[in-house]
Structures are given as structure tokens and as C-alpha cells.
Amino acid sequence: MNSLALNNKLAQESTGATRRKTSSTSNIEGTLDLRLVSICLLLLLIGVVMVYSASIASAEKQLGAANYYLNRHLIFVCLGLICGFITYSIPTNFWQRIRWICLLVVFVLLVLVLIPGIGKVVNGSRRWIDLGLFGLQASELAKLGVIIFLAGYLVKQQKNVEQSFSAFIRPLIVVVLLGILLMLEPDFGATAVLMGITMGMLFLGGVRILHFIIFMLISVASLWSVAISSPYRVKRIMSFLEPWEHSQDSGYQLVQSLIAIGRGEWFGVGLGNSMQKLFYLPEAHTDFVFAIYAEEFGLLGVVVLIALFVFLLLRAFNIARVAMSVARPYQAYLASGIGIWIGLQALVNIGVNLGALPTKGLTLPLISYGGSNLITICIALALLLRVHKENVQSQQGYSKKSVIKKSTILKEQV
């Protein structure tokens, strides 16, 4: 009787534990990470508002349609959400299997954009492939493609990367080749971000500190050599160091950005009341939308915006940590790479607007006007959400297995 009673009690406890676990996670399984979704939607909303606010005057004067950029931006948002939904429905293992295909597509696009008649020249740079509705910026897909490729490489070559210099240098050769193609456009900003993503992912992959330091020094030296090799880049550096001395030529854009940020003071001048967007600050709705945001919402608004990006970055790294804890290293590296990319690009854009970094043509993720970046970022965030979904499913599997295993052991003891 005692043995039978004990068995019944054990079965009830096991069933109860399973039901409690199932009830607590059944509502989460297969659903989105609500915290991450909330942050992304809020940033998208801020982006829609700021693109309209920053572009309304220039669109009215240049195109005769105040809503021109707003309407196009809303189309990009819809396309980004559609592409994100499709990406979210695809298992992350699929991307791991086709990582070499993704890398090949990136190389092909970066070569095509350099071909006259295919690549579109804007402001002296050949960075876009004209698709009619918008120009496809190959460098944006290059960043995502490198993340997908490096995540797979780090999983396959984990031990070799930690010990062998040759295993460490092989992916760098690929990235350097991509960087050369980007510099031929030229796109110095995208090259710098690409190198930053690579260094960050390799560091998380466990490379030797000596190898990492050597690569970092070589990268910085190479980028600096490229920066001072072109007269217009030298002008940008000089205007960055002394913007007010070049306020009527190479430093004009930075000076107008600093004026906008300064006018914002603590609480801003109010939404729609910016003066610098009235034909003073060029590219106000793209690269320098942060300056207009700071002018209209002040320091308080800037703190809120930066906090949102910090929360997004922390969420990405937390998803990566959970993925690694349930033995899913590819997904962990994928999530980390996406977090590094978004965080680094936001840091560079904000730094440029504040005059802390030389002027570069990098947009603010989810905020700036631009089809390629917005759609690609939406795809990347969908990958992040997919990693979270698979993490939840893996955790449930582990929990159920542990309950069954514990129940079996106790029964055997009885």
C-alpha cells in the first residue's frame, strides 16, 4: 500500500509540474517577444513622425508634395514588416545551411552596383541598384550577409578559431574583399561598420586576445590610411576637428546639426517647430534626422531615444545568452551579430550628429528615411524574434525532459 500510494503521489506531482510548466509557457510558445516588439514598434513610430516632420518643408518646395517622403517611408515600413513576417516564419537553421549562398549573393550585388548602367550614382557615390520604387543599397545586405556567414563559421570552426591563427584569418580575408568592393563605391561608413561587426563577433567567438588586438590595429591603420588618401575625406576630417572654421564649406552640415541640437536645450522646441529643417540642414530626414529630433524634443527626448536603443541592444544580447544556454550556438552568434550591427550603426549616426565622429553616410536604424536600411533592419529584427521563439521552444523541451527523467528516477528508487 505504501509503495502504491507513493507511486500515485509521484505521478500526481509529475503531472502537476508538467501542467504548471505548460500553462506558464503555452501562451508564450510560438508568440513574439513582446518586449522586443514593443521597442521596435515604438522606434518605427518615432521614425515615421520624424521623417514627416524633417522632410515636409523640403518636399513641399522641391517636389510640390509635402507628404512625398512620408508616403514613401510608410511604404518602406509596410515592405519591411512583410519581409520581417516572412523571415520570422523561416527556421534559423535554414540560414545556417545557406550561409555560403548568402555570402555569394552579397558579392554579386557589390559587383553589380559598380557596373555603369546598373549602379546608380548619387552625390558622387555608386551605391544603389535602381529597382524602380527605391534604390537597393547593396552595403545594407552585405552587413546582414556577413552576420549570417560569420555565425555559421564560428560554430563550425569554434575550437580552431580559438587556437589557430589561420582559422582566425580566413573569414577576415572574406570581409576584407567585401570591404574593398565597398570602398570602390565608395562607402567608407559601411566598411567601418562591417569591420566593427566582424571584430565584435570574432571577439565573442573566443579568438585569442593577441590575434584580436593585431587585427584591430591593422583594421584601424588601414581605415585611417584610406581616410587620408582622398582629398574629400581629409576635408571631412578637418571639418570634424574644427567645424566652425569650415562652417561655409565642408563643415556646413555638421555646424547646422550642432545648432539644431543646441536649440533643443532641455525639452525641445516642440514637434514640427524645428528651424534647421527649413533648408538649413541638408539630408535632414536621412543621415541627420537625429539632429532634428534633438531640436524638437530636447535632451529629455534624446535620453529616451538612446535608452530605447540600449534596451534593444541588451535584449539582443539576452536572447543570444539564452540561445547559448540551450546549446544553440549558431543562433547565439546570429543574435549577437544583429545586436552589434544595430548598436554600432546607431552609435556612429548619433556620434556624427553630435560632432563626436567624422561625417559618414550612415542612417539611424528604424528612424531615418531609406528603403534598403529599413527593410534590412526589419529582416534582422525578425531573425532576432525567431531566435527568441526557438529559445522558448527549446527551454520547454528541456523542462519536459527533466520532469520525465526525474519522475523515472524516483519510480526506480521506489
Return the percentage of the chain with pLDDT > 70, whole number. Answer: 82
How high is the pLDDT of residue 106? 94
Return the amino acid letter for 169. Answer: I
Average pLDDT rounded to a whole number, residues 258-286? 89
- Is residue 370 predicted with pLDDT exceeding 90? no
- Is residue 166 predicted with pLDDT exceeding 50? yes
Return the amino acid letter for 277. Answer: K
C-alpha to C-alpha distance for 353 and 276, rounded to whole angstroms: 13
pLDDT single digits (tens) 47-106: 999 999 999 988 988 888 889 999 999 999 999 999 999 999 999 999 999 999 999 999
How high is the pLDDT of residue 25? 43
Average of per-residue pLDDT values in the chain: 84
CA 237 to mean position of chain CA atoms = 26
Confidence of residue 6 (pLDDT cuts 50, 70, 90): very low
Containing domain of residue 228, as a range? 30-398
Residue closest to 339 by CA, chosen among 392, 383, 393: 383
3-state secondary structure at position 346? helix
Confidence of residue 10 (pLDDT cuts 50, 70, 90): very low
Q: Which three cell numbers stand for residue 5?
A: 500510494
3-state secondary structure at position 191? helix
Measure CA of the first residue to CA of the last residue in the chain; give whole Å.
12
- Is residue 159 predicted with pLDDT exceeding 90? no
Strands 125-130 and 135-137: antiparallel
Average pLDDT rounded to a whole number, residues 221-245? 70
Confidence of residue 413 (pLDDT cuts 50, 70, 90): very low
- Is residue 170 predicted with pLDDT exceeding 50? yes
- φ, ψ at 126 (rounded to 5°): -100, 90
- 406, part of any domain: no
C-alpha to C-alpha distance for 136 and 132, rounded to whole angstroms: 9
Return the percentage of the chain with pLDDT > 90, whole number. Answer: 48
Higher-confidence residue: 109 or 401? 109
Average pLDDT rounded to a whole number, residues 386-400? 81
Is it true that the peptide bond before 186 is cis, omega within 30 degrees of 0? yes
- Is residue 184 predicted with pLDDT exceeding 50? yes
- 335, part of any domain: yes
How high is the pLDDT of residue 48? 96
How high is the pLDDT of residue 26? 46
Higher-confidence residue: 260 or 14? 260
- 6, part of any domain: no
- 349, part of any domain: yes
How high is the pLDDT of residue 17? 46
- Is residue 11 predicted with pLDDT exceeding 50? no
Cβ atoms of 372 and 136 within 8 Å: the answer is: yes
- 391, part of any domain: yes
- 414, part of any domain: no
How high is the pLDDT of residue 331? 96
Alpha-helical regions (H) of 64-164: 68-88, 92-97, 99-112, 138-156, 158-163
- Looking at 91-100, 245-254, 396-405, which range is the least confident one? 396-405
Confidence of residue 183 (pLDDT cuts 50, 70, 90): confident
C-alpha to C-alpha distance for 370 and 378, rounded to whole angstroms: 12
pLDDT single digits (tens) 193-215: 998 999 899 888 888 888 778 87
Average pLDDT rounded to a whole number, residues 151-157? 91
- 12, part of any domain: no
Total domains in the chain come to: 1
Alpha-helical regions (H) of 117-187: 138-156, 158-163, 165-183
- Is residue 1 predicted with pLDDT exceeding 50? no
- 2, part of any domain: no
